[in-house]
Structure formats: structure tokens, C-alpha cells
């Protein structure tokens, strides 16, 4: 037989595009349209429905950026359509290639009942099949004219990302407002041909199955009368029945399809618009569930469920019913799909506490999976947090975006820093927006790396990012792919059903140890510095507020602020979403975030102040409250006392220019350029700064990545660097223990204060930058005279080691990485820590000096600021303040302690006398990350702690109150049945911990 594949395939494409698809709606009549434009922010539904609309016609422009318009559409079903299926086709001016990224709508009936959402791939509303013509139609559309930020030419700077700068020019053209007859037979034919055509294209050219499909498609097209598509569609479908009913081979890959709409809680739209996106999507999905009995939809992010409950009660009622039916499934168990690199230990734990508790309280449902398809890499401390929350699975897709190395597994066990292993799955479909295209299904089967030992994978199915969800076309395609020769099989299943099957068939998958590093989006560790500082400050203020409020509640009867703390925690957790904290959202989002963090700080300072005054009592004694988990200056951790004396620091001229700071522990030499050329550890008798180098050096790089401006920094940025060595001013500080340096560069100005506190083994580096650069990257460098092949950086509940060398492509790809409060570099017996109060991104490199020294220079560089222009063209412009400290002679324990110290400063309060800690611990390696009252209002004290040095530890916790009993719990403060209760002797609790082990104790007050 002659090869006519291309001929038939070309015929199929043209006939589908030009004849069959248009025939889905063979008849239509226009609807009457009127519109009311809300004057500012969105209005309540009742107000929008009651507003008096004005005239508008198809073809008219509408919709200022970020505006809301209420369309009223009315019409009458023609008499001739009696008994036929009728739909309203409502095209607001959609570009079907941008679902979730442009205008959207939610359709209501006149009584305010939501019908379904409108988006570029979902423009229809079912009217019904009236027995008689003449039925009146009246619908209302709450339409959001969200501007297109990420356009066909992506990453161009735009002022559309903030309502304050977006202007008022209409964004969209009303395109179609019709009533139309829906021909389901033609619609089904379209899907038959799409599924077969897409499958055919994925099969080998010489495969018999491909030719079998080709011939069937050719015969079906022969059966169609191009002048009477609707009259001949059934005949064409009949000729496809055989090829559509041939079952899949027994060895076919098996895909669990999960209806899904990954909705970014903020990104190219503000938080308030996400509230409406979720309402539109959930309305759509509950409607689809009513129509499709096999379909299952899963939604993560408890915050988004809470938004529906609070803002759209009429939608919430439908959601609750669908959940009760087991078809609309809560998944993920987190408050939001957060970043997991930057959130601190407690914040990461609270993501699960608040997320899982919401689903338990609302539905009595506990889900076992962490659902993070779009998060930008995963910290090595996460597995034990997942387990401690009572969960056991993780799903993500984003690692498939890595630029350099292909991850070797799709199903595996992920081992964290403490040895906890979590069953993990990366969907080989390589998207969280699967649309059931043949190319996606075939890619999942081909791409699956665990062939031969496993056969199951998961496909999150539906339009996401900006929402929309699964469409009826996707469901129809999945039905055809349930058992079809040449394809993977597709079955609608919940995440829990998938994970149970996957684990049953592959109980001992391979193990991946350590972080799941995304080789992309590395600059999210630095972009939008104020957002990151707000997060760090909020985390530590929350810890402090809980500590002092709990201490005051137990010691003085102070009213513990349960509701305020719960609300503030949820606000902080929301802002850890993976496009807010990483700095990759529009200007509006970060403008609001800055204001929110300021408000939170004020509220928490008020709680802290009230609790401390209650504890201090009346008096004139100068009390220092120490919230850090280690004793300092004679003040116990979690207590208050009069601070001990501090010693003194000398400031003297340096021969040859500059200054010397000396406090008996360190001698710091600052040269005539204001650079630290020596940091000598007097006890160890050794130098910290590498020979011929300078620490505290600011370095400026060009920063114009190939894509994803706010997200990415590409390795070639290192090729060009400017050392900022010219000083405008170098003067001693008024305190006699510091030196102030002022430099200018470009359009910016930086002021550094180098100070050596009396009695402390740390050089403080306070940096204030008035930043007005564009597409630049500012680093702070510390070249250290340390020979190290690896270094430690803090992560949740411990620290993680990375290589300083680039032996392999995996190591080379980690040229920008995340730390929390410290980075630690060491040789046996001596090390150096660089600690920070608010930065995350850093790089560590090593060179061997070949000038006769042959020593190794290990350079730690802290990332301070960037200046990308997309999606916020004014990213980070303005004044920023950072605090870092160089700690020579530091052990890993010193790094932990100094990291806490710089983030949890003391507070002074006048009072009567010493405040005894509510809970204390006698071992520095055991760090208390939370001391609080139990969330259930019982008055029990909850203590969370971990081993922080990476070794085994024995410690005694001492309660500052009479103990009635101690229970080991999970993060949700529920007893762990398998846990062995610690030994209790009065108020003393003996504990043993393995390296990095996380423990939560619930201590009942007698």
C-alpha cells in the first residue's frame, strides 16, 4: 500500500478545523447585553446584581485594568429549538491560549445562585433542552478585566502589575454573546477524532496500530458530508467504534488522572483576585462533577478553601456537598503551597498544622500527602516535617524544569537530614496542567523512569496557574483513553488512591538523600528583599510572642491571645506562597505584603510588650528579656534578668591607614579603603581572612537572565564583576567600637558600619543600601582562609551540607543556594560562620592559592539585592538595611547560637526582678523552636525542639511550673501512639535525640 499518512493527517486537520468544530453549534441567535462597571474594587454579589447597567454591544471595548464589570445578558430561546440542547456562548474577548492569565467571569442566575466560571477554554453555559420554545434567558456575569502581564513576548517590563500604575484604558473587546444549539453528536465526533489523531501522531510510523487508526479516520472522513456535518456525524462516529474499543495492552502504563486547577495564591494578580479565581474555578468544578459521574477533583491550599467559605458562601455550599460525596477532595494538607526553602522551622511546621486542621475541622478529613507541584525546590529538612504532621507522601512536578541534570526517578523515597524517608512522586507527564492531549499521555509513558518495576503515575488534569480547572473535553478524552490500544490507560482517582496503588506496587523504591534542588529560579532567594525581611522578622516575632504570652499566662494569668496569634500565623503562612516570598509576583502583591508585614510587626510588638510588662511587674530594675534559645550575657534563654558586664572594645589607627578594632577575643583590621583585611582569632592564633583578600567586600554583577527575570540568575552573571572598593568616607563610630564607611556607585549609595561588640567573638556588618540600579546583582563577600570541601547551611530543624567544589554537574548547578540564619565553613577544630538577619541566597566557592602559599581560599558570598524589571519593574528600588556577622573560630554550635542571636535581639523592660523561663534546657545542642500554649485552649504547654548540631544528644528540660504529665505528640498536638513517653521527675523531663530529630511535647500543668 502506498504511504498516504501525511495526506490523511492533513485532511483530518483541515476538516476538523474548518468544518466539524464549527458545526458543534449549528445555529445561534444574539443575546441582548448591558453592562455596569464597578467604580473601584469588586462589590458584593447582591450589589452587582442590583446595579443598573448601561448599553454595550458585541465589538465594544470594555474593562480597565483590574476592573470589574457586571454584564447582564438576556434573550429568548427560539420556538424552533424546542427539545434541542441550548447553550449560551459568552466570549468576553478571550484569547484561548491564555486560560487563567486574562479576563475571566463568574455567571450567576438572577437570584444570586452561581452557575459556573468563564475562561478562554470554557465559554459555554448550559441553558437546557426546553420542551417548548420561547423560554426566557437571563444571566449575570461578574467579569474581571485582569490585564495580560505575561504576554506572547514574555518578561517585558510593564506598569500593568499594579492598580496604582496600570491606567484606565479598556483591555478587552466583547466578542460573542449568543444563544446556540449544541449538537452533542458532533461534539463527540470532534473528541473521537482528536483522541485518535493525537494518539496516531505519537505511535511509530511503522506501527500497525498507527495505520489501523489512519484507515479508520480516513473512512470516517469519507462518511461526512461537508455540507451536512450535523446530519452525517453519527455515521462518521460509527466508523471509529472499532479502533476506539480496542483495549490497551496489559503492560500499558497506568495514569491516575486527578482533576486539578493549580491556582497561584498570588502571582500575576493580587490576593483579592485569587479569592475570585478560586470561586470561579470551584463553581466550574462542582458543576462538572454534577455532569460527569466518574470525574474526581482535588484542590489543595486550605487558605483557598477558607476564602470560598468566607467570601462566597453560595459556592461553599456546593463545595461542601461535593466533598461529602467524595468527589471534591481536599489535598496537600498545607495552608498554601508555600516555598519550602526559605520558611523557617516553625513556619514550615505551621503550614501543615493550619492546613491539616482546617480540613479536619471542616470535613473530618485527614489527607496524607504534601501537594506541591509548582514549588521551586525542596529543603532537606522537609521530610521529617511531613512525617511529624502525620502525612507520608509528597507530590511535585517542578524538578522536571531543572536546566542541567535530569532527575533519575519518578517514584522514590526522599530522605531528609534526620533520616526520615517520604514516599515521593514526580508525575512524568511533566506538567501540573495536563489537558489529556495525546502528546502528554504518550510523554508520561515514555518518560517514566521506573519502567519494569512500577507502572503507575499521576496526571494533575486541568488548567491552572490562574485557575479554570478541568474541562468537559478533558473528561471526554479521558473516557476514551480508559482502555485504548497504543495509549497509557487513564482512570480518574484521588491522590490517596494513586499513592496507595503506587506504594503497593513499588514498596521499596530507590532513595534520594538531601535537598531536592531546582536547577532554575535560583534568584527567588534574593528578589524583593523587603518581602523576605518581613517574613523573617514575622517568624521571629511570632515565636517571641508565643513564648512570652505563654510564660505570662502560666506565671501571672495573662490572657493568652489565641485568636490573634492564629490569625497572624495564617497571614504569615499565606505570604510564604511560592510566588510571594520568592519575590516573583507583580508590584501590587509586594506593595501589599510590605504593608501587611508592618501591621503584623505592630500587633506582635503589642502582644510581646503586654506579656513582658505582666512578667516584669512594677519596679525600676533594668531587665533584659532573652527570647533566643541560648543563654547570653548572663540572661537565661526564655527568661529575663539583669545583664552581665560586657568588657570593652578598643579602636586604634592602623599603620598605613585605616583602623583596628580589638576586644581581647578578635583583632579586626580595616584598611584605608574601608575593607576588612584581617580578622584575627586571638585564642586560636590564626587569621580568618584569606591572604591578599578583603572581607566585607561589596561586589556588583550585571544580571540579565535569558528568561524569568525575577526568578532566574544565570551562571554567566559571574563572568563580569565590579569590586566596590572606592570609599567616599571612612570614619570611626561614636561608640568607639565601630567604623563607618560610605560608598557610591551608579545611582546608588551604600553605608556600612563594621562593629566589634565588647566581649563577643563576632564582627557585625551593618549594610544600608539606597538602591537605584537596574538589572544588577549585589553581593557581600567573605574570602576565608579555610580549607573545606563542603560547608553547612541552616535549613528547617537542622543544617545541610553542600560541596564547595564542582566535581560533577550536580554540584556545579548549585551556584546559588539557600540558607537560613547561618553558613558555616570549617577545618577540623576551627571554623567560621557567616550569620544574617534576613538574607537567604548565597554562593560558596573555593580556590587554591598558587602564589607560594598553596592554601585554600573558601569564599562565602551573601546575596543582597537584585533589580529585575519583570514582573515588577521597580523591584527593590529604595533603601534597604541588612545585618550580617562574621564569627571566626565558630563551631557548628556557635553558628547555631549566633544565628539565633542576630535574629532574636534582647528587649529591655523596667520591672521588679528576674523572670524564670517557662521551660529551659540544659544542652545547647537542643534548641527550643516553640514554647506556647496548646491550640485547643486546654492550658497545656507545648514545647517543640530539635537536635541542632547533627549529633546524638541527651538533655533535660525543666519546666517552670508543676508538671502533671507529658505526652509526645505530632505537630497538630495529638498523641503519638508509637512514641515512648520521656522520663519525668518533678518538673524535669529527660529526653534523648538522634541527629536533627524533631520532637513535640505536650506538658500538662498539675
Report the DSSP beta bridge partners of residue 460.
258
Question: How far apart, in whole angstroms, are the C-alpha atoms of residue 832 and residue 848?
Answer: 18
Q: Contacts by 650-657 with C-beta closer than 8 Å and gap 24+? A: 650/736, 651/732, 651/733, 651/736, 651/737, 651/738, 651/739
Q: Active site residue: 183, 192, 374, 712, which one?
A: 374
* Dihedral Cα 351, 356, 359, 362, nearest 10 deg: -90
Distance of CA 371 to the CA centre of its chain: 11
Question: How far apart, in whole angstroms, are the C-alpha atoms of residue 77 and residue 281?
Answer: 28
| Phi, psi at 605, each rounded to 5° | -60, -35
339 is known as an active-site residue = no
Query: DSSP secondary structure string, 23-47?
Result: GGS--EEEPEEEEEE-SSS---HHH
Question: How far apart, in whole angstroms, are the C-alpha atoms of residue 282 and residue 288?
Answer: 10
Q: Residues 284, 468: contact at Cβ < 8 Å? A: yes
Estimate the share of the chain in helix, then strand, then coil, as percent rounded to the nearest 5: 30, 30, 40
Question: How far apart, in whole angstroms, are the C-alpha atoms of residue 253 and residue 445?
Answer: 6
Query: Buried b / exposed e across 911-934, counting CB within 10 Å, b at 16+?
Result: beeebbbbbbbebbbbbbbbbbbb
User: Where is 442: in which H helix or E strand?
Assistant: helix 438-447
Residues 6+ apart with CB under 8 A from 758: 646, 647, 648, 649, 663, 737
Q: Residues 361, 566: contact at Cβ < 8 Å? A: no
Q: 3-class SS at 185?
A: helix
Residues 6+ apart with CB under 8 A from 181: 25, 26, 27, 28, 81, 84, 85, 86
* Dihedral Cα 544, 550, 552, 555, nearest 10 deg: -140
For residue 469 the three cell numbers come to: 480547572
For residue 418 the three cell numbers come to: 534526620
- Name the region of 191 (left: φ>0; alpha: ψ -120 to 50; beta: rest): alpha
With CA atoms as reference, report the closest residue to 688 among 826, 832, 788. Answer: 832
Residues 6+ apart with CB under 8 A from 576: 336, 338, 339, 342, 343, 347, 351, 535
> How many CA atoms lie within 13 Å of 367's alpha carbon, on the beta-carbon side?
34
**Three state DSSP letters for 56-122:** CCCCCEECCCCEEEEEEEEEECCHHHCCCCEEEEEECCCCCCCCCCCCEEEEECCCCCEEEEEECCE
- How many other C-beta atoms can be found within 10 angstroms of the C-beta atom of residue 134? 11
With CA atoms as reference, report the closest residue to 174 among 88, 72, 37, 58. Answer: 58
With CA atoms as reference, report the closest residue to 862 among 782, 761, 745. Answer: 782
For residue 261 the three cell numbers come to: 486547577
Longest dimension (CA), the chain: 102
Residues 6+ apart with CB under 8 A from 7: none
- How many other C-beta atoms can be found within 10 angstroms of the C-beta atom of residue 803? 17
User: Where is 966: in which H helix or E strand?
Assistant: strand 963-969
C-alpha dist (Å) from residue 326 to 255, 287, 462, 464, 926: 20, 15, 19, 22, 43
Q: Which of the residues are catalytic?
A: 374
Amino acid at each position: 500500500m502506498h504511504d498516504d499518512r501525511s495526506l490523511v493527517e492533513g485532511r483530518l486537520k483541515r476538516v476538523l478545523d474548518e468544518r466539524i468544530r464549527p458545526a458543534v453549534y449549528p445555529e445561534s441567535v444574539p443575546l441582548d447585553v448591558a453592562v455596569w462597571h464597578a467604580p473601584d474594587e469588586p462589590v458584593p454579589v447582591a450589589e452587582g446584581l442590583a446595579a443598573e447597567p448601561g448599553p454595550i454591544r458585541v465589538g465594544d471595548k470594555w474593562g480597565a485594568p483590574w476592573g470589574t464589570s457586571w454584564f447582564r445578558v438576556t434573550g429568548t430561546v427560539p420556538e424552533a429549538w424546542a427539545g434541542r440542547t441550548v447553550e449560551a456562548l459568552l466570549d468576553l474577548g478571550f484569547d484561548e491560549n491564555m486560560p487563567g492569565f486574562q479576563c475571566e467571569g463568574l455567571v450567576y442566575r438572577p437570584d444570586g445562585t452561581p452557575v459556573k466560571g468563564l475562561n478562554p477554554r470554557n465559554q459555554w453555559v448550559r441553558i437546557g433542552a426546553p420542551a417548548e420554545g420561547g423560554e426566557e434567558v437571563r444571566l449575570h456575569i461578574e467579569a474581571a478585566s485582569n490585564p495580560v502581564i505575561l504576554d506572547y513576548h514574555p518578561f517585558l517590563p510593564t506598569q500593568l502589575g499594579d492598580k496604582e500604575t496600570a491606567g484606565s484604558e479598556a483591555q478587552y473587546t466583547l466578542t460573542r454573546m449568543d444563544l446556540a444549539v449544541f449538537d452533542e453528536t458532533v461534539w463527540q465526533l470532534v473528541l473521537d477524532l482528536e483522541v485518535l489523531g493525537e494518539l496516531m501522531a505519537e505511535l511509530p510510523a511503522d506501527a500497525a496500530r498507527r495505520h489501523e487508526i489512519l484507515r479508520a479516520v480516513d473512512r470516517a472522513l469519507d462518511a461526512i458530508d461537508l455540507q451536512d456535518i450535523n446530519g452525517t456525524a453519527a455515521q462518521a462516529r460509527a466508523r471509529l467504534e472499532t479502533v476506539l474499543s480496542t483495549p490497551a495492552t496489559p503492560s500499558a502504563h497506568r495514569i491516575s488522572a486527578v482533576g486539578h486547577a493549580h491556582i497561584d495564591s498570588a502571582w500575576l494578580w493580587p490576593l483579592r483576585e485569587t479569592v475570585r479565581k478560586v470561586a470561579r474555578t470551584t463553581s466550574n468544578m462542582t458543576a462538572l462533577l454534577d455532569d460527569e459521574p466518574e470525574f474526581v477533583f482535588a484542590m489543595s491550599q486550605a487558605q483557598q478553601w477558607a476564602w470560598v467559605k468566607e467570601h462566597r458562601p453560595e459556592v461553599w455550599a456546593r463545595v461542601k456537598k461535593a466533598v461529602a460525596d467524595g468527589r471534591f477532595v481536599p489535598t496537600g494538607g498545607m495552608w498554601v503551597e508555600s516555598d519550602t526553602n526559605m520558611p523557617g522551622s516553625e513556619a514550615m511546621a505551621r503550614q501543615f498544622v493550619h492546613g491539616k486542621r482546617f480540613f479536619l475541622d471542616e470535613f473530618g478529613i485527614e489527607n496524607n500527602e504534601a501537594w506541591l507541584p509548582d514549588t521551586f525546590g525542596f529543603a532537606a529538612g522537609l521530610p521529617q516535617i511531613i512525617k511529624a504532621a502525620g502525612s507520608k507522601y509528597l507530590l511535585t512536578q517542578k524538578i522536571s524544569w531543572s536546566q542541567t541534570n535530569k532527575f533519575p526517578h519518578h517514584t522514590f523515597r526522599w530522605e531528609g537530614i534526620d533520616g526520615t524517608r517520604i514516599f515521593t512522586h514526580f508525575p512524568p507527564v511533566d506538567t501540573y496542567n495536563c489537558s489529556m492531549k495525546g502528546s502528554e499521555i504518550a510523554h508520561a509513558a515514555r518518560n517514566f523512569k521506573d519502567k519494569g518495576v512500577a507502572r503507575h503515575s499521576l496526571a494533575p488534569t486541568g488548567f491552572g496557574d490562574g485557575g479554570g480547572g478541568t474541562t468537559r473535553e478533558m473528561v471526554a478524552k479521558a473516557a476514551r483513553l480508559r482502555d485504548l490500544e497504543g495509549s497509557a490507560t487513564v482512570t480518574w482517582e484521588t491522590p490517596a488512591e494513586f499513592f496507595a496503588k503506587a506504594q503497593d506496587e513499588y514498596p521499596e523504591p530507590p532513595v534520594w538523600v538531601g535537598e531536592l534542588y531546582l536547577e532554575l529560579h535560583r534568584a527567588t532567594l534574593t528578589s524583593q528583599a523587603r518581602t523576605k525581611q518581613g517574613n523573617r522578622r514575622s517568624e521571629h516575632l511570632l515565636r517571641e510572642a508565643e513564648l512570652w504570652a505563654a510564660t505570662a499566662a502560666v506565671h501571672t494569668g495573662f490572657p493568652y491571645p489565641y485568636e490573634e496569634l492564629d490569625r497572624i500565623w495564617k497571614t504569615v503562612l499565606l505570604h510564604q506562597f511560592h510566588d510571594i516570598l520568592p519575590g516573583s509576583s507583580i508590584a501590587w502583591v509586594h506593595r501589599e505584603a510590605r504593608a501587611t508585614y508592618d501591621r503584623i510587626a505592630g500587633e506582635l510588638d503589642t502582644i510581646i510588650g503586654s506579656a513582658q510588662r505582666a512578667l516584669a511587674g512594677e519596679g525600676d530594675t533594668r531587665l533584659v528579656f532573652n527570647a533566643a534559645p541560648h543563654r547570653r550575657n548572663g540572661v537565661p534563654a526564655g527568661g529575663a534578668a539583669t545583664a552581665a558586664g560586657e568588657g570593652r572594645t578598643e579602636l586604634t589607627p592602623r599603620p598605613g591607614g585605616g583602623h583596628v578594632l580589638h576586644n581581647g577575643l578578635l583583632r579586626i583590621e580595616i584598611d584605608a579603603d574601608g575593607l576588612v583585611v584581617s580578622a584575627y582569632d586571638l585564642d586560636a592564633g590564626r587569621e580568618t581572612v584569606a591572604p591578599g583578600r578583603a572581607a566585607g567586600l561589596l561586589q556588583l554583577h550585571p544580571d540579565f537572565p535569558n528568561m524569568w527575570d525575577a526568578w532566574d540568575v544565570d551562571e554567566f552573571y559571574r563572568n563580569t564583576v565590579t569590586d566596590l572598593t572606592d570609599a567616599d568616607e571612612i570614619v570611626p563610630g561614636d561608640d568607639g567600637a565601630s567604623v563607618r564607611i560610605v560608598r557610591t556607585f551608579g545611582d546608588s549609595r551604600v553605608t556600612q558600619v563594621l562593629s566589634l561588640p565588647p566581649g563577643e567573638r563576632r564582627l557585625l556588618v551593618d549594610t544600608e543600601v539606597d538602591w537605584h540600579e537596574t538589572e544588577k546583582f549585589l553581593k557581600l563577600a567573605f574570602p576565608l582562609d579555610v580549607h573545606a570541601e563542603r560547608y553547612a547551611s541552616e535549613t528547617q530543624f537542622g543544617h545541610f551540607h553542600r560541596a564547595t567544589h564542582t566535581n560533577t554537574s550536580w554540584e556545579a548547578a548549585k551556584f546559588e543556594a539557600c540558607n537560613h540564619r547561618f553558613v558555616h565553613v570549617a577545618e577540623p577544630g576551627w571554623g567560621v560562620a557567616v550569620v544574617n538577619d534576613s538574607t537567604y541566597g548565597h554562593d560558596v566557592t573555593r580556590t587554591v592559592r598558587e602564589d607560594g602559599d598553596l592554601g585554600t581560599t573558601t569564599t562565602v558570598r551573601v546575596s543582597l539585592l537584585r533589580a529585575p524589571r519583570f514582573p515588577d519593574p521597580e523591584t527593590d528600588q529604595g533603601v534597604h538595611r541588612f545585618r550580617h556577622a562574621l564569627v571566626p573560630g565558630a563551631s557548628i554550635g556557635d553558628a547555631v547560637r549566633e544565628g539565633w542571636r542576630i535574629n532574636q535581639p534582647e528587649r529591655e523592660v523596667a520591672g521588679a526582678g528576674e523572670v524564670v523561663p517557662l521551660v529551659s534546657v540544659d544542652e545547647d545542642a537542643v534548641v527550643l523552636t516553640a514554647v506556647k500554649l496548646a491550640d485547643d485552649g486546654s492550658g497545656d504547654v507545648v514545647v517543640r525542639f530539635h537536635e541542632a548540631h547533627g549529633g546524638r544528644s541527651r538533655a533535660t528540660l525543666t519546666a517552670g511550673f508543676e508538671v502533671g504529665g507529658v505526652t509526645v505528640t505530632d505537630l497538630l498536638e495529638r498523641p503519638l501512639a508509637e512514641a515512648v513517653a520521656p522520663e519525668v521527675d518533678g518538673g524535669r523531663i529527660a529526653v534523648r535525640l538522634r541527629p536533627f530529630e524533631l520532637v513535640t511535647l505536650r506538658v500538662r500543668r498539675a
